[in-house]
Structures are given as C-alpha cells and as structure tokens.
Amino acid sequence: MAGNWILAFLFLASIAKAEVFYVTSLRYRGNSKGDITQAVANAWRDACASPWPAKVIIPKWEYYLRGANLKGPCKAPIEIQVQGYLRAPQDRSRLIQQGTWNLMFDFVTNSIIKGITSLDSKYFYINAHECRNVTLQYLTITAPEDSHSTDGIHIGSSFGITINHTTIIGTGDDCVSVIGGSKNIIATNFICGPGHGISIGSLGKYPNEEPVTGVAVKNCTLKYTQNGVRIKRWPGSPTFRPRQSGTHCKQDDPSKVKISEIGFTNIKGSSATPVAVKLLCSRK
C-alpha cells in the first residue's frame, strides 16, 4: 500500500446485528499522531475471534495507516466500515510491508466491496487473487494519466467477480485487467478513462497457465483510452473464451494462443486514429 487513499465503506459481509469494535475506542486508540496501524490490527484480531458476527468501524476523521494485513479464517462474518480518510505515509520507509498496491484481496469469498475512493497508488489499486463470488461496486479510482502500472482493478485466478457502477479515471494503465485462471468475470455500468482501457491478459507468460473464460463487458463508457478493449498475450498462451458466442478466431498450432467465442455488439463511439477496430487472426 502506498500513496494517499481514501476509503468510504468496505463491506466484507452484510451483517444485520453485530458486535462492534471501534478502532478509536480507549481499548484500541492509535498514537498521538493519528497513526491507527496497530489499532486496526488489534480490532481485527478481536473481531475475527468473536463467535458472533462482528463489525470494525473507523469513525469519521483523517488517519494514517502504514499497512494492514487482515487475515482469516474468522469465526463469523465481519464487516469493515471505514467512514473517514486513510492516508499512507509519504515516507515509504515507514510502511510495514513492501507492497505498493492500495488494496489486495487474497482468497476472499462471498463478499462485497463498495463505496471506496482510492487515490494515487504506486501500483495496482485493487488486486483480487484467488477470490470467489466477490462484488465490487460504487468505486472511484483516480491516478495521474502518466503513472505507470497503475491498473485500477486487477483480477487473477478468481471466479465470479462482478464490477458495477464504478468510475476509474486517469489510470496510467488498464482500468480493468484479467489474467490467467479467471472465470465468469462481469463488468457493467462503469466509466473508464483516460488509461489503457479494459484488458484480458497478458496471457501465457507462465508455464501451464490456466485459461480465462466467461468474461462479459456490458453498458460501459470508455473515454480517451489508449486501446479501448483488448486481448493481450505472450507467445505460447493458453485459451481465452469469453461468455458471448460469435466470431471464432483460433490457431491450429496448440502451442499458440487460442481465442474463441468472441462477441462485439452495440458498440458506439469515435476513434482518434483511422483504425478503430483491429482483429488479427492467423490460421497458420
């Protein structure tokens, strides 16, 4: 986690009645400089150990957070509600871990992540790895247009990820990127750009990489993007099969990339270059 970032609400579960843990209570209060790193860790520890549904709340204010590693499994569902502003330290040496992303979700299941505004990450803003049945909605992600490798939402080896009602503005890379092992990824009703656009891949970088299947992008607006929507691959890539059926494009050589069941429908807009759409499929 690096750079300044703001969280409004982060829901890991929907809980009607829960035991509440305030990170600003006397039990968990941070230091005099507003650093709540240890307070968040302690509140999560107790919430995770609770046999009843729990809620961790960071009240309205501006706080500093050097990093948080919130591990499970927990005994009951947990909701994290961040009502204030969380800022990373300007001095990267103060970070408690070396990651340069803003938010990483590893092995998260049956969860909702919503209402987050994330600013100025030094790498991926949201990284979802080995996640199952996760919805990301009402997100705002902003970075300088010339920043490098700042994917808005990066998804790998995950199943059943839904992105909707999200605005990704000015990333220096992909608004959404999906890599190997991901299945049933749906992106609807979101705005992307400036940036590179929406990317499947790059695929095939690693040996025995799993394919990407069942990707659907619907009712989205892309503005001033470098590529719009694209499929990126390395030589020797596995298979990519989106959800829509339509034009088939594949190679006979099984060691090369195979792209099949692609559909483009009801796409409107303008292009800054004479070529708006390029489909290059080899039969060799």
Question: Could you tell me which of 174, 143, 139, 169 has the C-alpha nearest to residue 156?
Answer: 174
| Set 129, 154, 165, 196: catalytic member | 196
Residue 185 contacts residue 157 (beta carbons within 8 Å): no
SS3 (DSSP) at 19: strand
Torsion of CA 217, 186, 142, 226, to 10 degrees: -30
Task: Tell me phi and psi for residue 124, to 5 degrees.
Answer: -60, 145
196 annotated active-site: yes
For residues 47 and 58, what is the distance between their CA atoms, to the nearest angstrom?
13
CA-to-CA separations, 151 to 42, 57, 277, in angstroms, rounded: 31, 28, 23
Residue 222 contacts residue 228 (beta carbons within 8 Å): yes
Pairing between β-strand 153-156 and β-strand 174-178 as defined by DSSP bridges = parallel
Q: Is the dihedral of CA 7, 95, 109, 239 positive or negative?
A: positive
For residues 6 and 87, what is the distance between their CA atoms, to the nearest angstrom?
7
Task: Tell me phi and psi for residue 139, to 5 degrees.
Answer: -105, 150
Active site residues: 196
